[in-house]
Chain A
Amino acid sequence: MTYSRKGMSRRTLIKTGLAGVLATGVSPMIFTRGAWAQEFCNNPTGDTVTIGLNLPLSGAYAEEGADEQKAYQLAVQHLNGEGDGGLINVLTPSALKGNGVLGKKVAFVTSDSQTKADVARAGATRMIERDGAIMITGGSSSAEAVAVQGLCQEMGVIFMAGLTHSNDTTGKDKKRYGFRHFFNAYQSGIALGPVLGQEYGADRRAYHLTADYTWGWTQEESIKAATEALGWETVQAVRTPLGAADFSQYLTPVLNSGADVLILNHYGNDMVNSLTQAVQFGLRDRQANGKTFEIVTPLISELMAKGAGENVKGIFGTSNWHWNLQDPGTVAFTKSFGAAYGSPPSQAAHTAYVQTLLYADAVERAGTFYPPEVIKALEGFEFDGMGNGATLYRADDHQCMKSVLVVRGNESPTSQFDVLNVVREVPREEVDYDPTIFGGELGPAEPAPMC
């Protein structure tokens, strides 16, 4: 043992130091952790709470963005006790009271993401840092969703994804702070495969045109897997730039490729354009390999069907939800939305609305806006009444597990909104899958110390 000149042993010094560290740093963390943790990013202190809407109001998915915006406005009204209450009345179980969230009025700020991932990320950053958004939601592109969800994980702000269909969103790019109500490309494949087999047989040769980003890639992969399992052959899969507008140079090679099915892995305006142009090229009047040439659009919405007009008649695809379903949730939402805007809601609007309510409900159940607690409330939450039947927010990957719709372009529409028919409602058990197949890590729930 050695002594210091001033009579303090090294051991005493270490002991004193340790005691000091405990006294000033660690022990308050142990004893007052809950109180300290309430100081989190954008903890609302006034009588309002702000959510950030990140919407593609221009670009290839602008139409979906505009419809999502309407739905968010409606959701905020309903949460604040205005209007007819919409789905608040039918969500079960529900902690929502129609007096805001935890007694605070809900306000929102909006940013145009332009259907671009970098703009979406910049918009979300601005809404978190400048506008104090407690939660970010919206988007109609998986590239945006993946980018914004990554940012939200870093900032410790919850992201309730809007329309995003890529397997990656809740697969390899999943995040603890990101939640997706919308279904995914893999589930589209499971749902659509049997119907395609039944309608078009097992001996088909498919040509894919695919939007060249995360969603297109995963949809192509999923639909290829589903159709090849039927016995179909994939002739070619060609990537097209997002927002290409004129697809004619990609359609001409289809004509003499030996394919008898064209699968358009496009969405939004891209799908409207590629489908319209494919029909102009006479593909639907064509005979190939002794069969009628067919076009398939694996992900389709009523907005796109409306945009494509007559060209969509008879074409198969899948949807997350359709306003024409007859369950109480769908009827209530269609009524609220139709009365407010004079048209039925799209699937993009539906998922946006539902995500807002689910977040608000989770906050009410958690009793706090503190993100880790809200995350806990959402993970494994089983609910019903939102238009998709009994639904589970799966804890492993934050993917909502629910039924999927196979739809077909209406041959004889009775109105401009009556453009798609639901051919089959594929039950949740059939579209269930092992969350580990797409890899990825959710990451930690503890929020970043600063945002």
Chain B
Amino acid sequence: MFEVILLQFVNGLDKGGAYALIALGLTLVFGTLGVVNFAHGALFMLGAFCAVTFQKLITLETVTVDPTQLSPWGTPVEVREPLVQAWLGDFGAVLVNYSVPFSLLLAIPVMLIVGIVMERGLIKHFYKRPHAEQILVTFGLAIVLQEIVKAIFGANPIPQPVPADLRGAADIGAMIGLTPGIITYPIWRLVYFLFSAVVIAAVFAFLRFTTFGMVVRAGMADRETVGLLGINIDRRFTIMFGLAAVVAGMAGVMYTPLLPPNYHLGMDFLVLSFVVVVVGGMGSLPGAVAAGFLLGILQSFASMTQVKALVPGIDQIIIYLVAVVVLLVRPRGLMGRRGVMEA
């Protein structure tokens, strides 16, 4: 039984990592700009499609038609030669193998630009409008973005490869001195958990230990006073929006080997992430992270056969059930601040 519980716990951590990363970005935007951004899930999806685009680019092929060979339906066979390997040799092969981590290099600048353009082009016009209107416009934007992706990439999921060295499962049990072969877990999922931990730590360190971060935190606490001190807080908040987009995008990129991305990926995660933010407490960054991991772990435990035998269907409602309980007991969420969305 111990190994079963440990496995579900580890599984919860990797799920929680994704939830925490998206919820962190949502909370950053909400805490700085006061905007409820329903397009945040779409940013996760756009990040995933950065990985898809990168992979498509580095696997471009020259296609030559060979009239001497015929396909089973009688048309000449197309012979394909990969371009990148032809140009870059071994490095090209490494690039193809590690296309997902390398695509972070594409995703970071792209997502930063997308975030800044989104904020300057659309969202800033809604700062003084009611939350309901912000939700409507960002939700509309999310639909537009996903339809654009659908038009370009189609409706079907596009699988992304796990780097060959990181395929298969790691024997965690053997590592901690248990019988080998009992507790194994996919390596890439462990990588994802570590990655999310590093990104979360980096965001916190950035806000905590840099002057930029300090100003942003001050702006989150009292925007007007910071503005009166002669600091252009709006520009910094725009950059924070870009940063939130980058965090969501990176989370999307690294998630692609676990779940082949399709245009609807963002919506699938959006609702969950909002529940995470609400449970964690609107505007609380540590709350978002803690709630992300908490709900990931609870969801994983609720899917255990023994639990499902006791309460059938609990795996599908556990997150919402927890949200109901938390909101009844602690209406501001686990770590919510007084005054946020209470005006």
Contact = CB atoms under 8 A, between A and B. Distances in A.
A245 B261 CA distance: 10
A249 B297 CA distance: 10
A256 B4 contact: yes
Interface in B156-210: 156-157, 159, 162, 167-169, 181-186, 188-189
Nearest to B303: A249
A157 to B, nearest CB: 27
A281 B10 CA distance: 13
A66 B185 contact: no
Contact of A334 (B72, B167, B268): B72
A246 B258 contact: yes
A263 to B, nearest CB: 15
A179 interface: no
Contacts of A287: 181
Interface string B260-302: 1010100010000000000000000000000000000001100
Interface in A248-284: 248-250, 252-253, 255-257, 269, 272-273, 276-277, 280-282
B232 interface: no
Nearest to B77: A415
Interface string A302-326: 0000011100000000000001100
B144 interface: no
A257 B182 CA distance: 11
Contacts of B11: 248-249, 252
Contacts of A309: 159
Of residues A238, A249, A307, which shows the largest number of chain B Cβ atoms within 10 Å of its Cβ? A249
Nearest to B306: A253
A132 to B, nearest CB: 28
A66 B156 contact: yes
A280 B72 contact: no
A335 interface: yes
Given A282-B168, A287-B181, A252 B156 contact: no
B4 A253 contact: yes
Interface in B183-241: 183-186, 188-189
Nearest to A416: B80
B259 A335 contact: no
B37 to A, nearest CB: 22
A160 interface: no
Interface stretch (A55-63, A221-229, A434-442): A55-63
A238 B8 CA distance: 16
Nearest to A309: B159
Q: How large is the interface on A (under 10, 10 to 19, 20 to 34, 35 or more residues)?
A: 35 or more
Contacts of A342: 75
Contact of A281 (B156, B162, B169, B260): B169
B14 interface: yes
A246 B157 CA distance: 13
A253 B305 contact: yes
B144 to A, nearest CB: 16
Contacts of B155: 57-58, 62-63, 66
Contacts of B162: 280
A256 B157 contact: no
A284 to B, nearest CB: 9
B15 A63 contact: no
Interface string B1-36: 001100110111011000000000000000000000
Interface in A59-78: 62-63, 66
A286 B181 contact: yes
Interface string A179-216: 00000000000000000000000000000000000000
B156 A280 contact: no
Contact of B159 (A245, A272, A339): A272
B260 A307 contact: yes
Contact of B7 (A252, A269, A272): A252
A110 to B, nearest CB: 14
A344 interface: yes
A63 B153 CA distance: 13
B89 interface: no
B87 interface: no
The 7 closest A-B pairs by CB, nearest first: A338-B73, A282-B169, A249-B303, A280-B186, A62-B155, A252-B7, A249-B300
23 contacts: A62-B155, A66-B155, A238-B305, A246-B15, A252-B11, A253-B8, A255-B184, A256-B4, A257-B305, A273-B259, A276-B260, A280-B162, A280-B168, A280-B169, A280-B186, A281-B184, A282-B169, A282-B186, A323-B72, A334-B72, A338-B72, A339-B73, A339-B74
